[in-house]
Amino acid sequence: MLAHVFRNWIQIALLLFLAVIASSIPIAVDQRSSLKWGPCIWVRDRKCPDSDIKFFLFTSRNPSERQCIYVDSTWEKSNISTSYFNPLHPTKIIIHGYNSDMYLNSLIEMRDEYLQRGDYNLFFVDWSYLGQSPCYVMAVHNADHVGACIAQLIHRLLETETTDIHLIGFSLGGQVTNYVAKHAKPFRIPRITGLDPALPLYIGVGNDEKLDPSDALFVDVLHTNALVQGKVERCGHADFYFNGGILQPGCWSNGQNPIVCSHHRAPDYYMESIRSFRGFWGWQCESYINYLLGFCRPTDILREAGENCKNTTRGMFLINTNPNMPFAMGKWTDILSNTGLKSNLIEEYLAPIKRKNPLQDELDQWGKLDGNFNNIMNFPTPLPQDPANDEWVYFSQHGTKRITEHLFGTLLDETLERQRNDIEDNSLQAGSFDDGEKLQALTEKSANEPHNPIQDHITNPIIYREKVITEYVKNITGYEDTFPLPQN
């Protein structure tokens, strides 16, 4: 709540600052109750549909010629029914970011890859008029309104009984998807993919103001410029950090801006994943802190990122790429195999990772975190649990000894009972004797065999049980004395 208020004050302060330093540029209110300052627009009380938010449809029937889609409050007022939209095909809604438009090169290539892969309804959202440079503060504010209008599109599509809807948002468009999810309720969006969701003005805000796992049934996120233009914190059910997630290889050549290049690698990687034979495969890491500390060596627990990411994927994953296209390297385990390394060497390298978390191994060299503090089994016990009692099992030798007696006694009873049942089953035909005949048959059978401790248990089970337990406890603890056995 405090972070939300703080962000609002920052936005207001920036607006006032811009107004003061540029007082020569008039501030006007347009007919739709929006505050305008130069190229910047601050949306106020607008309703959808909004002519500043446009939708264009591409399908296999019109792969390059866009269809303008008009969406209104009812199906009859909209023109979806006269378009090439097919409710039997999967629907992708692609949202650009700040200071951009739907013709961003990687987004257009994404369209081409999808239509070469199969039949899709590809809706491109163009809200560039509300997200122009240098108006980032206004663009962040307008994101809520953009999300509301996209949600109106989704409501119209739902009237065709289609439910296979996937939102793909790049940069600030990734944060717009949060508002789409909010305004689309009660419908739960099946999948949202965030391509390096924007960081500025989204630090410390609540989940209702940013992309998070609650926004869809499955949220997957690609991080390529974390801590600069993109968020470093996890935003989805599955978060993939490419090449560490901050700066991307190949972005330092040919005079490129490494920050801009790294940020735009997110849609580049996703575009390539649509039809890649190798795929982008990442190994799991428990947290970004673990990665920074060097505790996330590659493992063979691999999950694929991008279009083919399974909706059951959960966790944080690290992925390495090539510096140039094709970026995908496939599974790193396949790369090692192709270099001639034997599989047993790979398994030997992976074995320590499989067995234990490296960070826990460093912090917990004595294995205390594997169980409770004293490495005593967690089980219900009838014995005292009061620390003031000298028989408290966790700090008293007597208490620990009585626990041992009780557990071993229970196991012994179960074992002896099974053995006695085995003798009866193997010696006697069920139903052929009455109880007296059974006892006589057992007695005669045991008289002709070497001494069997089972007979002691049958004739005097209490004495035999105490004898065995006392001997066992003496052997493993060194105690000569015994204690009264707990009552069953």
Catalytic residue among 141, 145, 223, 263: 263
Instruction: Tell me the CA distances in angstroms from 43 to 139, 142, 177, 178, one per residue in order.
Output: 9, 6, 18, 18
In one-letter notation, the amino acid at residue 209 is E
Q: Determine whether 220 is an active site residue.
A: no
Residue that the structure tokens 């609002």 belong to: 8
Alpha carbon distance 93, 100 (integer Å): 16
Alpha carbon distance 325, 244 (integer Å): 18
Q: What φ, ψ does residue 125 adopt, rounded to 5°?
A: -100, 130
**Cα dihedral 256→259→264→266 (10° resolution):** 130
Token pair of 11 as six digits = 């936005």
Q: Do residues 222 and 197 lie in contact, with contact meaning Cβ atoms separated by under 8 Å?
A: no
Catalytic residue among 52, 196, 215, 220: 196
Q: Determine whether 343 is an active site residue.
A: no
Q: Do residues 177 and 211 lie in contact, with contact meaning Cβ atoms separated by under 8 Å?
A: yes
Catalytic residue among 106, 128, 171, 276: 171
Alpha carbon distance 142, 8 (integer Å): 13
Alpha carbon distance 58, 67 (integer Å): 7
CB-based contacts of 4: which residues, under 8 Å, 6+ apart? 205, 206, 209
CB-based contacts of 424: which residues, under 8 Å, 6+ apart? 438, 442
DSSP tag of 335: H
Q: Determine whether 263 is an active site residue.
A: yes
Residue that the structure tokens 């066992």 belong to: 472
* Gyration radius from the chain CA atoms: 34
Residue that the structure tokens 């449809």 belong to: 57
Token pair of 43 as six digits = 């949306």
The 10 Å CB-count burial string (b at 16+, else e) for 159-181 is eeebeebbbbbbbbbbbbbbbbb
Token pair of 184 as six digits = 């689309």
List residues with catalytic annotation: 171, 196, 263
